[in-house]
Amino acid sequence: MNKLLATLLTGLFATSVYAQSSTATTSPSTGATSGASTTATAPAAGANVNADVKANAKADKKAAQAEEKEVKADAKAQKKIAKADAKADKTKAKARAEAAEDKADAVK
């Protein structure tokens, strides 16, 4: 039952994505069906395509900026983790040295 439900949902999602992407590509071609209205609707269709291109460029730019921010945040987190690891190693080494010194004193 779960597999069937997952398959149906995946198909629905794929269909909706395809439907959204195909409307942008088919709208200029639907305006070009009649010969008389081609010249009247062609600039509007071109403006629509230009608007879509600009919107996509803006979306891509925002996505790139978000990705860059995420990469910077990850690098900053990795740097903090490395610093914490170094501090922990230093503390462990100091504790081991003190333990070895105490052990040596106890043996004497």
Q: How far is 62 from 56, CA to CA, in rounded Å? A: 10
The pTM (predicted TM-score) of the whole model is 0.42
Q: How far is 68 from 65, CA to CA, in rounded Å? A: 5
Q: How far is 97 from 92, CA to CA, in rounded Å? A: 9
pLDDT at 50: 82
- DSSP 8-state code for residue 33: S
Q: Are 45 and 32 in contact (CB under 8 A)?
A: yes
Is residue 55 very low, low, confident or very high in pLDDT (cuts 50, 70, 90)? confident
